[in-house]
Chain A
């Protein structure tokens, strides 16, 4: 009887531990949807007059230049920039190897919701590209744009609890994306 009690107790402890472990990993997984290890410090920026658009952010959000290699990573990352979900970019599409489906899934399937980004650096200045990525609603006169505001954390409706206070792209990642966009001439 005593032995049975002990076994039961041990069983209970193990079950509890497993349940807690599962809950913890589940919570972590859910958090990753919006967080992805971001520091989520929202950069303050100054709006200046643009060359082609009314407004632009001429200074880097971090004070440093971004890394175009990382920019490519965020642009194809499904939970972060995911730019190619809506915009076609020939240079990125060409990175998918014809014989390798996973590399094609990563690079080659592009959406057609927004305009192509080929030559985007010829159409907009660096400061304009930065504002377009940070907050499209401030950059374009089309108030009905479908494009998300990638570096804004307020003014939204019913944001998922995991995403409250978070931005889609951190200041550093915005700079990386801008650095990559600048190569699209």
Chain B
């Protein structure tokens, strides 16, 4: 027992040593100071509140179960689909170059379509408009794979989501949603994730509800899931009727939450309990 702990500890220390400087101030273990006007005095990735074994799993590129979906995404990137005979790579070439930074700045206000878009929505727009292919469902293996692969190209980059200009209205709507009581249990997002983060509720520790690791591989789900899937789960837990994945409500909330975490780094695919 002690020996196993020692090995796990040693592996963890080794991982820490390798990526040492990157971990120093990315919200994983050390707090990040949020931008002025934030309701939080310190930002923490959900990593901080995860169980020790879960952290080790995330930090090991080969042990992270979410990376299997990254491989799915990498394959799909080059796969021709739809009537236009195109793949992602036809237009975007090498994802390592073209997708770098996407995971850090999305969701964005997308001017040509005059709406807020997350990566899922952007992928489906490309599929229907340019590839002449069908939409993928949220949380289908193809969508999860592609979104994880795209966001992986920004791994370790600081989240910097814009909230001004055309994004302002969505940001404000997301903020309103965040502070609204909802469901039979009459709780807002802020009740758990702003007021009591780091506090235990029975066996679990409440996090700040940061989205920098999404899609996350959740041990409870035994697969990765989108932020919208998590929102649905939260809504159901307070016994409220959830919204649909991709709904305006969740899109606004995703933008607001991402911006609340501006300064944390992209961890996709993070591993969580």
| A residues neighboring B (CB under 8 Å) | 33-34, 78, 82, 84-86, 105, 109-113, 144, 146, 148-149, 156-163, 166, 168
User: What residues of chain A lie closer than 8 Å to B202, measured between beta carbons?
Assistant: 78, 82, 84-85, 109-111
Please state if A112 and B184 are interface contacts (CB–CB under 8 Å).
no
Please state if B195 and A146 are interface contacts (CB–CB under 8 Å).
yes
The answer, among B191, B195, B200, B241, for a CB contact under 8 Å with A158, is: B241
User: A157 CA to B189 CA in the complex, in Å?
Assistant: 13
Please state if A159 and B201 are interface contacts (CB–CB under 8 Å).
no
Please state if B199 and A163 are interface contacts (CB–CB under 8 Å).
no
Of A33, A110, A156, A166, most buried by chain B (CB within 10 Å of CB) is A156
Please report the total number of B residues contacting A with Cβ < 8 Å.
22
User: What residues of chain B lie closer than 8 Å to A168, measured between beta carbons?
Assistant: 184-185
User: A85 CA to B237 CA in the complex, in Å?
Assistant: 13
Please state if B203 and A166 are interface contacts (CB–CB under 8 Å).
no
Please state if B196 and A148 are interface contacts (CB–CB under 8 Å).
no
Closest to A162 in B: B239
Q: Knowing A85-B202, A111-B199, A146-B195 touch, does A157 contact B182 (C-beta < 8 A)?
A: yes
Q: Is B132 engaged at the interface, CB distance under 8 Å to the other chain? A: no
Nearest Cβ distance between residue B98 and chain A, in whole angstroms? 40
Q: Is B187 engaged at the interface, CB distance under 8 Å to the other chain? A: yes
User: What residues of chain B lie closer than 8 Å to A161, measured between beta carbons?
Assistant: 241
Nearest Cβ distance between residue B89 and chain A, in whole angstroms? 42
The 22 sampled A-B contact pairs (Cβ below 8 Å) are A33-B239, A34-B239, A78-B202, A85-B201, A85-B202, A109-B202, A110-B200, A111-B200, A112-B199, A113-B200, A148-B185, A148-B186, A156-B184, A156-B186, A157-B180, A157-B181, A158-B182, A158-B183, A158-B241, A160-B236, A168-B184, A168-B185
Nearest Cβ distance between residue B194 and chain A, in whole angstroms? 11
Q: Is B240 engaged at the interface, CB distance under 8 Å to the other chain? A: yes
User: A34 CA to B185 CA in the complex, in Å?
Assistant: 11
The answer, among B184, B186, B196, B206, for a CB contact under 8 Å with A160, is: B184
Nearest Cβ distance between residue B162 and chain A, in whole angstroms? 29
User: A86 CA to B200 CA in the complex, in Å?
Assistant: 8
User: What residues of chain A lie closer than 8 Å to B240, measured between beta carbons?
Assistant: 157-160
Q: Is B126 engaged at the interface, CB distance under 8 Å to the other chain? A: no
